[in-house]
Structure formats: C-alpha cells, structure tokens
Amino acid sequence: MKIAEKIKLNEKKDPGQPRQKRTARGVRGIRGLGNIRKTWEDGNTQIKDLLCSMGFLGPSVIGVTLFFIAPFLVVVYYSVIRSPINPEFVGLSNFISVLQNSSFQTAAKNTAMFSVIAVPLAVVLSLALALLLECRIPCKSLFRTFFLSPMMVPVASVVLIWQVVFHYRGTLNLVLDNFGIDPIDWLNSPYCLLVIVVLFLWKNLGYNMILFMAALNNIPKELLEVADVEGASAAHKFFNIKLRYLSPTVLFVAILSIINSFKVFREIYLLTGDYPYNGLYMMQHFMNNTFNQPDYQKMATAAVLLALVMVALIALLFKAEDIFGKDVEG
C-alpha cells in the first residue's frame, strides 16, 4: 500500500507527465548515452589505427625524406643560385648555360639515342620470349635458365666477359679474322653503342621475361577459349585480348627499362673509364666529371633536367596505359 501511495503522490505532483512518457524519456536518454559511447569508441579506434599506421610508415617516410626528397630539394636550390659561397638567385641562367654546353649536348644525345634503341627492344624482345616460353617447345627450362643466368652475374664479371669478347684482340675479332674480316676496335668505333645495347639486353631480358610470363598467366582463360571457339586468329587474340591485359605490365617493364638504361653508366665506366669514345659519353659521365671539378651548379642543373625528362616520360607512359588498358582494369 505504501508503494501505491507513493506512485499516486508523484502523479499528483507532476500530473502533466504520465508514467509511460517518463519511462520512454528515460529509455531515449539511455540510448543517447549508448550512441555517444559508441561514437567515442569508434573515434578512439580510428585514432588508434591512424597512430598504428603512422608508426609503421614513419621510419620509411623519414628515410625517404632524409635521403631522397631533402637532397633533391637541395639540388634544385643549387640549380638556381650562382654558387654555394655566393647564394645569389640567378633564375634560369644555369639552365641556359648547361643547355648550351657542348659536352652536355653530346651526353644528352647519346643517352637519348641509347634509350630510344634499348628500351623498346627490351620490352618487345622480353615479351616475345615470354610468348615463346608459353608455347610447347623442347628444352624450355634450359632456355629459361639461359636468359635468367645474367641476373646472377655481378657487374664486374659482366664487364670482364665483354672485354674478353669485344677487345681489339678479343674473341669476336679472332672469329672474324677466320672469315678474312679486319679486326674492329669495338669500343672505340661507331659500333660502340651496339656493344652496349647488346650488353643491356643480355643483362635485363631475363627479368622482364619473368614479369611478362607472370602477367600472361593472369589473363582470363575463358576469353581465350571463347576466341578459339569463334575462330579468332593468333594475331587477333594477341592484339585484342592478351596485349590489352598486359598493358600494366608493359608500362611497368618500360619504366623499369628506362631507369636501367640510365644506370648503364656502371658498365660503360668499367669498360672505358671517365672519358670514353665520343659515342659512349653518357649523361652520367657528364655529371660524374662535373662533380670531380667540382661545379655544383652545372651538376645540379643537369640533374634537375634529367629528373624532369624522366618524369615527363613516365607521365606519358601512364597516360598511354590509361587510354589503352582502362577498359580491362578493375
């Protein structure tokens, strides 16, 4: 009886609020507190995930910033001032001076010619080898090993092999002499670029071939089977199915080949030294010799120009891949 009297007394004190409404308001209040707590926990989870991601990415970001981004910004700064001692802003004066330099022009021409010849050959030949290994041919494993073996050979050993083969009194000239052909000084003649292109291809075809073989295995077999049922030719299947699905790999191999073509300086330097035959004087020779002088402004300007050219080439390749392969991605 006492509990019932208390309930009636409370209803008399607040006659405008029935007991059911007060109960519903209490439930809504509890739900609101629950939503606030859930939102707070979700926010804490996002913060924890962000902090965890920053913890994992932090060392890499710091390393890239310290050893790549910051030095490149210093190089850009050096390219627009007169000298480290006299940091006067000169604008594009250093760029004009470098572009008018005859040594830079020779190095740029040779580097561009080498890349124009070697990079397309590296992409096309490695793709052809991958397609060949996709077929049923005898001694397939031996063939694959032959092209992958240069990846295990150090650069110094590769250079030694090339010196033995292409020296004036080397193996190749001895073979040519048996056919009555006069010996050729391969590394000091107009044939020098051909020697380096062969070296570049022999060193890089195996890795590119493996990339294309992996990409060929990822092409949907159903499309090829449908094409076979409809009587499509091998050329039609290659250009309209395989090549379109290979476009991301073609882009990757092309970028990798461009980067490797600029790194061929190691082999040329070990073969010929600081000042090779005029046809082998590459951009890295120019920058290396400029560093030894030292002329930081000229070297920094050449490095910035080289970086701009590489960025432009890679941007064009990405644009071409986006146009050609966008309908088969995703």
Q: Measured between alpha carbons, how far is 70 from 62 in angstroms, rounded to an integer?
A: 10
Q: What is the pLDDT of residue 34?
A: 56
Q: Which two structure tokens, joined as six digits, stand for 61?
A: 């970001």
What residues does each domain of the chain span?
A: 2-78, 97-328
Local confidence band at 6 (pLDDT 50, 70, 90 cut-offs): very low
Q: Which has the higher per-residue pLDDT, 143 or 120?
A: 120
For residues 179-189, give the mean pLDDT. 86
Local confidence band at 168 (pLDDT 50, 70, 90 cut-offs): confident
Q: What is the pLDDT of residue 161?
A: 86
Residues contacting residue 30 through CB under 8 Å, at least 6 positions apart: none
Residues contacting residue 91 through CB under 8 Å, at least 6 positions apart: 80
| Predicted TM-score of the model (pTM) | 0.76
Is the per-residue pLDDT at 7 higher than 50? no
For residues 153-161, give the mean pLDDT. 84
Is the per-residue pLDDT at 180 higher than 50? yes
Mark residue 240 as left, alpha or beta (left: phi above 0; alpha: psi -120 to 50; beta: remaining).
Answer: alpha
Superfamily per CATH, domain 97-328: MetI-like (1.10.3720.10)
Q: Which residues pair with 100 in a beta bridge?
A: none
Q: What is the pLDDT of residue 237?
A: 85
For residues 71-98, give the mean pLDDT. 88
pLDDT digits (tens, 9 = 90+) for 90-126: 888 889 999 999 989 999 999 999 999 999 999 999 9
C-beta separation of 203 from 118 below 8 A: no
Q: Which two structure tokens, joined as six digits, stand for 200?
A: 């570049």
pLDDT digits (tens, 9 = 90+) for 213-261: 989 888 888 888 888 888 888 888 888 888 888 888 998 999 899 988 8
Is the per-residue pLDDT at 42 higher than 80? no
Residue type, 64: V
Is the per-residue pLDDT at 19 higher than 80? no
Q: What is the pLDDT of residue 211?
A: 92
Residue type, 166: F
Q: Measured between alpha carbons, how far is 44 from 239 in angstroms, rounded to an integer?
A: 52
